[in-house]
Structure 1
């Protein structure tokens, strides 16, 4: 607990810790606000003073810069005036030089025209003589060229004739070769056709022969032929494979009827 005396009535009263802390906070906040307000006023005043000083400085600098610019402009104007005067003087001098050169060139041109006229008259006189000489030379050259051209035409015609003759000979040779090849082709085709026709005829004859043989052979004849074949083959290998065996017909001597073929293998004992 804390005891506090009121500044107005001078009475003492007690408050707890929370109330005391709250009162201290209010007192401190009030003092802080007053100090902050005073500092803000001072800062605002300093800012206004600084702005005024800056304005005065800028105004002075601008006046000085304007004065410097005016002086520089005056100097440039003076230089420009002097330059224009010098330029006019230089142009006048250059015009004098150009006019002098122009007059000299005009005089030279006039003299050149006069010389050309004189030379032209002299050249016309000489040209007439040279023209006659040149004409005679050209006529002679034309005659020579005509003679050469005529000779070339004769040589060319002869060469063309030779080429045509060679071409005709080659053509005739090729024509004969083609005819011979066609003839050989026809002969080969004819021989091949005859060959195949002969083969076809032989095959037809063989087919007819086999058909006739088949028609003439009966079942009995086929069987007897097979039996004879088997007997022949058996007798061919009998001595080595079947020395004690027999393969023969079982004929009946009493009736004379032929029996069937029977295979007998006898014991050696």
Structure 2
């Protein structure tokens, strides 16, 4: 009888059934035991494998740890060596930097000194250049003004000459010899009266009607200042002839008579206004001074009538002060001998001043030449200094670590070792 463990029912089996059941139970238990054993063996094998692996892993980790410690130790040694090399290189570089800084400081000092010297020299040169330039500008302006004034004056004179030529071209063919002479006098009188108030407000200009000495000139010009001191006096003679006149006279035929009239009438100058010798280059060239024969005598063409009076008047105005002083001296009855001595002293002083001015002018020219030579020498010095600075700058640019360690094998080896690492 077999009782069911689940439901508790009891049933009966024969021997064969029991054997079969027993074999089934044994087989199942055996399989179960086998499986359990296999699982145990597998668990043991797995545990052993894990233990072996764990041991191997521990061993490898130990080896790795040892290697890491060796590597760390090596890196530490390498870092120490590197730091030592860097410190040594840094010390040498600092020393070289100090040397370079000293050199740069010396170069900067030299450069500043050169620049200051150059600046001072350039300032002096610029000042001299500006002064010379200003003098040149003033001279150019004065020359331009003088040229403009001269050009305007000659243009006026040329217009007057052209007008006079045209005037006489119209009159020569129509008038007789006497009428031509009278027309020249009228022309001069008209020109003077036209400009009297503007140019000669205090002057007298009129015909010479005093024939008590046996002769007389054509016109007399006189001008005095407010004190009655004579500024200028001129005896004029006007001469002309027509183209058809048979007898051609020359200007020199009238010099003696004109000089006589000047002296008898107490005039300072004598002027012959003439159209004679129309083809003469001498008289057509301008104002002709014949004082080598007769004192203070000039020969002019009609177009120079007013300019000649103006020139003599300006010269007389410059000497008016001396005439006034002379008149004052005469009024005070001062001995003429003292006056002549004073005049001689004035001439000597004037000559001395002139000589001094001439000498100073020559010295000024020499100083200008010296300044030019000095500027050329300074330019040469500046060029040499610039070359020296350029060479020093090239040497500074050529400084490198390689060249600094060229004669230092220890530093060279350390730098090469660092480069290889």
For the superposition of Structure 1 and Structure 2, which TM-score range results when normalised by the shorter chain? Answer: 0.3 to 0.5
TM-score (structure 1 length as normaliser):
0.40
Larger relative contact order (C-alpha < 8 A, sep ≥ 6)? 2
What TM-score do the two structures reach when normalised by structure 2?
0.27
Larger Rg: 1
